[in-house]
Amino acid sequence: MQQTSPGDAHKSLPTGTVTFLFSDIEGSTERWDKHREAMQEALTRHDALLRSVIEVHGGHVFKTIGDAFCAVFQTAPEAIAAALAVQRGIASEDWSSVHGLSVRMAVHTGHAYDRDGDYFGPAVNRVARLLAIGHGGQVLVSGVATELAQGQMPSQATLRDLGAHRLRDLSHPEQVYQLVAPELAADFPPLRSLDALPNNLPLQVTSFVGRDRELAEIKALLGKSRLVSLVGSGGVGKTRIALQVGADLLDSYPDGVWLVELGALSDASLVQGAVASAVGVKESAGRPLFETLLAYLRSRRALVLLDNCEHVVTAAARVADELIRGCAGVSVLATGREALGIAGEAVMRLPSLAVPDHISGISAHEAQQYGGVALFVDRATAVVNSFALSDENAPFVAEICQRLDGIALAIELAAARVRLLNPADLAKRLDERFRLLTGGSRTALPRQQTMRALMDWSYDLLTREEQIIFRRLSIFAGGWTLEAASTVCADETIESFAVLDYLSALVDKSLVVVDFDERSQRYRLLETTREYALQRLDESGGRLSLAAAHAHYFLEIAERSERTWSVTPTRAWSAMLAPEVDNFRVALGWLLEQRHDVNLGLRLSGSLLWYWADLAPAEGRRWLRTAMSLIDEETPPDIVAKLWLAQALIERSYTQRKNIVAAGRQAIRCYEKLDDTLRLAEAKLLTGHGLIFIEPGPEGAQLLNEALEIFRKTGEARLAALCILELGNAADMVGDTERGRGLLREAYSLLQAQGSEREAAIAATDLAETEFESGNYAAALAANADALAIQRSLGHFARMSISLHNRAVYLFTLGKSEEALAVARESLVLARDLQAEVFVAYTVQTFAAISAAREDFNMAAKFVGFCDAYLAELGVGREYTEQQLYDTLMPLLKSKLPAERLQACLSEGSLWGPEQAVAQALEV
């Protein structure tokens, strides 16, 4: 069990270059089995002694794992002095109740990264590996720590040179020293380094980074199954982790850990001989070599690593099967693009290294937590000693690792480029990654020297039909379903039902990734793999017809979503569409931006109207602007009508009432000509919604009632509830508050019952506004909280920005300025990111009120000046909540500032752009 020490959790831990002291009790498991109660008492004394001595010498215990201690010191002499004192303390006490207690210790100095009271990095791994080769009572010190301790050793203490030893991290040999002093044991058996144990594991010039969890999983699997296949895409790091597993398990296999490198074999018949050669077995007269090998291993306990099996998979499977069946003490760990496919095999798919999901504004501290970033930093530092991850370059390093899909080889090749390119320039050049990612180790296999060669190797191992499907799958962006692949990738040469077989083969060969969820599964290509497949698709021809098939398929998806929006619960509907956003983008780009089929693109952008409004209003606004600019006399009238309807719906997301009415009236005219009753009712609903807020006359309510009648006749319950919601707002706008409140509550209940959570949140938001207007502030805050809870859970950020803005005003009105400030900041950031211009202006006005409450009247007046000018530019007025705040604020400013000063501040603010206003507000 891993545990951060409570006694040191509050202390400031040293950072940068530090010295680690690790310890554990030799033979503790046996002692626990034989002397459980006595061991409990002994461990308590052991822990107290170590903690006391370490702290007295200026150290910090940052973690304990069972009986193991992990401590950190600012300097090497402090750590060595603490180790000496611990060993003397242990020697001075009576441990006879557990037949003696023997503690081994290791000291090493290096640079490490601290996170939440723990440390990570190669230096931490190095000291753990150093500890592993020692014996109880022994203190081992690394060469680096020894150099730093010269001239500052404890009295009568020296460091004995034990020579260079290879540790279990497989990196360069470490010059190891033993602490020697009076009262300490001086003579020990040979160190348990790699050189002392039978193996042929090669030296690794780079450190092992970012795979601790997977390392533990593989070792656990080998404890349960004697045959484990480690599969994954090329370059993901299968060989390196297999070697580390072998090194870590050397003590478990007294007859050796043997690496069999199959990558360079061109003939499958050579596999048996390669295994025998690796183990050191030679052919004997009159007996086949493999029989000799089996006879040799039959009574031995060994681990065989079969590396890079994919091109000789049948032969490798046969050898593994023979070893497992014929040699009871032998285990096999195989690596390759696909599993061996034999009985008793446990398969682990090695994922890419962890990379950040979000890169904007990521700090160095946060980025370093991801294995992909840690690997980049480690390899970049090896190339340029002065390289360091900083808050400035962390977003670019995170972007590099993210776009390279966490593929270890790709990250290493990219890191090597820091000789010539800083991370920002490197990130910009990733669109040409196959030219950029070259220059791997000259001693590596040719396919491991460049990303292009690695992908060529995997591609050439595919059958002709698998290559065709692989190329065609690159047309998808962000993944696909089996239905999508079967529809888009099939043609007269490959039938739809056969696509599944080829897709399964590509999954087995680690070229396609499968993502499972509770309801279904999706497939995807890593970005690097997709770029390669697209290049192959372009080389082979046929991209135009494939893109057309892709666009038609996703138009069907969009039209299906449009038909089912009003009868499907919010979450289920969103779950159907949200995964396909990248496919919609690719299709729209091909259809509209590249002008391959404008009418199809216009139909697709219009059919996504509810998706844009509910899930991606900012993006929907951009696509609709593009679509509207492409309408001409040849555009079919039903497409034009749907685009106007979609435009009105998007404007509703941004509360641009005049724009809603303008687009809604256009849609009404179109649908009247088309005699489309249901769509006409939707256009009337949106137009009526806009009118009730900007015109006091009866037209808005009349349009809403007409729409409600149609929806009730056609059984459109959700749309009918939305009409009731807007009629509630209409009643409230003309002063019939009680009727308005009742209709809004009715709409809220109906929408909740239908599972229409997103629209129910809108009803709750509007109900909160009605309560606020009536002075029922507690009720307003409660309804607003209901709305926010739904919007947060759905990620409905556009409406959430509105609800947060309203809440900030409510809180400010109640005199809770500091609470209001925190809420207003969240609202403003959302409004800015969503390009919700109206709510940028409204929320900046809230900052004006907060500034005035803090008696910064000059800044308050500047904020008001900005709001006045920006709202005028947008052609938008203040609604009730905003007007009430404004009417309270302006008299205060006029009373606190001289007329000339007030006018100067208003004028200055009126010249601000939204970016400057937001920046100023976020400094409040």
Residue-wise pLDDT tens digits, 574-604 = 988 989 999 999 999 999 999 999 999 999 9
What pLDDT is recorded for position 435? 66
* Whether the domain at 462-540 and the domain at 716-795 fall into the same CATH topology: no
Could you report the per-residue pLDDT of 451-472, keeping only the tens digit for each?
Answer: 787 788 788 889 999 999 999 9
Mean pLDDT computed over 125-138:
92
**What does the pLDDT read at residue 580?**
93
Triad 173, 179, 182: Cα angle to 5°: 160
pLDDT in the model for residue 170: 79
Q: Which residues of 102-127 are buried (b: 16+ CB within 10 A; e: fewer)?
A: bbbbbbbbbebbbeeeebbbbbbbbb
Q: What are the residue ranges spanned by the domains of the chain?
A: 2-192, 212-349, 364-445, 462-540, 716-795, 798-922
For domain 2-192, the CATH superfamily is Nucleotide cyclase, GGDEF domain (3.30.70.1230)
φ, ψ of residue 104 to 5 degrees: the values are: -100, 150
Confidence of residue 419 (pLDDT cuts 50, 70, 90): confident
Percentage of the chain modeled with pLDDT above 90: 68
Q: What is the pLDDT of residue 813?
A: 94
- Mean per-residue pLDDT for 212-217? 91
- Give yes or no for residue 415 having a pLDDT over 90: no
| Rounded Cα–Cα distance for residues 252 and 246 (Å) | 10
- Distances in Å between the alpha carbon of 460 and those of 357, 450, 455, 574? 32, 16, 9, 40
Q: What is the pLDDT of residue 517?
A: 67
Q: How many residues does the chain have?
A: 924
Domain at 716-795: CATH architecture: Alpha Horseshoe (1.25)
**Pick from 603, 588, 587, 615: nearest CA to 643:** 603
| Residue 10 pLDDT greater than 50, yes or no | no
DSSP single-letter state for residue 225: -
Tell me: the pLDDT tens digits for 333-347?
A: 999 989 999 999 999
Task: Tell how strand 16-25 and strand 103-115 pair up.
Answer: antiparallel
User: Hey, what CATH class is 462-540 in?
Assistant: mainly alpha
Q: Tokens 């004394």 correspond to what residue? A: 45
Q: Residue range 737-756: average pLDDT?
A: 96
pTM: 0.74
SS3 430: helix
More confident of the two residues 441 and 437:
437
Task: Specify burial of residue 133 (Cβ count, 10 A radius: 0-12, 13-18, 19+).
Answer: buried
pLDDT above 70 (res 41): yes
| Whether residue 518 has pLDDT greater than 70 | no
Q: Which fold has domain 212-349?
A: Rossmann fold (3.40.50)
CB < 8 Å & 24+ apart, contacts of 736-740:
737/770, 737/773, 737/774, 740/770
Number of neighbours of residue 137 by Cβ within 10 angstroms: 19
Residues 6+ apart with CB under 8 A from 830: 797, 800, 801, 804, 836
For 304, list phi and psi in degrees, rounded to 5. -110, 125
Name 121's bridge partners: none
Instruction: Copy the structure tokens of residue 286.
Output: 């009159």
The average pLDDT across 125-144 equals 93
- 11 falls in which pLDDT band (50, 70, 90)? low
Strand duo 330-336 + 227-231: pairing: parallel
Rounded to the nearest integer, the mean pLDDT of the chain is 91
Ramachandran area for residue 344 (φ above 0: left; ψ -120 to 50: alpha; else beta): left
- Predicted local distance difference test score (pLDDT) of residue 111: 85
Q: Within 10 Å of residue 88's Cβ, how many Cβ atoms? A: 14
- How open is the CA angle 840-843-848, to the nearest 5 degrees? 120
CA distance readout (Å), 63 to 78, 254, 843: 18, 31, 47
> Residue 3's pLDDT band (boundaries 50, 70, 90)?
very low
Residue type, position 393, single letter: N
Token pair 């200055």 is found at: 908
Residue 302 confidence (pLDDT) above 60: yes
User: Which band of pLDDT confidence, cut at 50, 70 and 90, is reported for residue 439?
Assistant: low
E strand or H helix at 506: helix 496-508
Torsion of CA 358, 360, 365, 366, to 10 degrees: -10
Tell me the two tokens of residue 46: 């052991």
pLDDT for residue 316 is more than 90 = yes
What is the reported pLDDT for 153? 93
| SS3 call for 422 | coil
